[in-house]
Amino acid sequence: MYRNYTFPPWGNIPKPQKEELLSSWLTRIAIFYHINLKELLSKHFRKYLLYYRDIDLTNIPLPILKKLSYLTQIPIHKLQSLQLLKLEGKIQKSIQVGTRNKWIIATSNNGNIHLRASNCLRICTLCLKENNYYPITSKLLFINVCCKHRTYFIDFCQKCKSPIMPTKLSPPKKIYQCFMCGFDLRKSTISTAFKKDIDTTMFLQYSIKKNWIKHQDKDISVLDYFTVLYLISKNLHKYFPNDKVFLLQPQSNRLVKGKSPYIIYQPIPYIAQIISLSHYLIFDSWDDELLNFIKRNRLMYASELLNKREVTKEKVPLWFMCHMKKLWTTL
């Protein structure tokens, strides 16, 4: 496999950690060699322009993987496990680069770095202090809480308000510092998470490791669950805080909604609450609060899903469609 290479592999480099992002690991290697990630990738993969891609999402060509495997002495399958593509077919049908994904925060080294919500990673500062790397959960929109430390993630530097983008670090800055001002992110102020948000996050972390979960005593695919979770979350965000369904969440009066119509641009505690409420409506109040919420706001998005199915041949969750029939017969 390696006989075509005449140059030596990288020596004594840090090894990838469990569930670490590929971009995080390569950044740590660059820091180890006292250069930035752009220099590292340009030296060995210049014609592929890897630095300007989201390498955590990009389907990296096999020749690049083989060369990277040789340089790092890490098997190709291990390198692929550091990417988010392994969640394709679970949290969403397909994962794409250069477009908005439902549940994945794309990061880019191009464009305006101050568009925080569309570029940044998210991290538990206590985990960063313990491990000094960025895990795959740093790019998942539905993971907003560290269940170990029971705190909300942060997604910006508390000193200069820049996004968290370790791929733009340059020596002598370390992996735990802000790429812009050098602030030690491990010293950021943390916020204790609500128990309901912690419980929901634990379920979500469990779900992405499975193919099927139980709902109403029936097995449903994880992909179907995340499809419906996003659909409900999107509409809860639209009507927050004016609909009475938010009375189910006593902490809602402590949360602030941003001006953007997109969930991704909202403060992390707010996103966590919206997702935990959506999860509650799916599992604990399927025939009561959820249906009433849909009827109050006349959310006929079931037909929207059917139309989408005709165009894309996308599988519509049948268990969700059956539930929506109650709405069609009562409106």
pLDDT tens for the chain, 331 residues long, are 555 666 788 888 999 998 999 999 999 999 999 999 999 998 888 877 888 888 998 889 899 999 999 999 999 999 999 999 999 889 988 888 767 788 998 776 655 554 544 568 999 999 999 999 999 999 999 999 999 999 999 999 999 999 999 999 999 999 999 999 999 999 999 999 999 999 999 999 999 999 888 887 788 889 989 988 998 898 899 999 888 888 877 776 677 888 888 888 899 999 999 999 999 998 888 778 888 888 788 775 555 544 554 444 445 566 676 666 665 555 4
Q: Which residues contact 114 (CB under 8 A, 6 or more apart)?
A: 162, 163
Establish whether the linkage from the previous residue to 172 is cis, with ω within 30° of 0: yes
CA-closest candidate to residue 33, choices 203, 230, 185, 169? 169
| Residue 233 to residues 37, 44, 236, 276, Cα–Cα distance (Å) | 36, 43, 5, 9
Which amino acid makes up residue 54? D
Residue with tokens 């050098």: 182
pLDDT at position 273 is 93
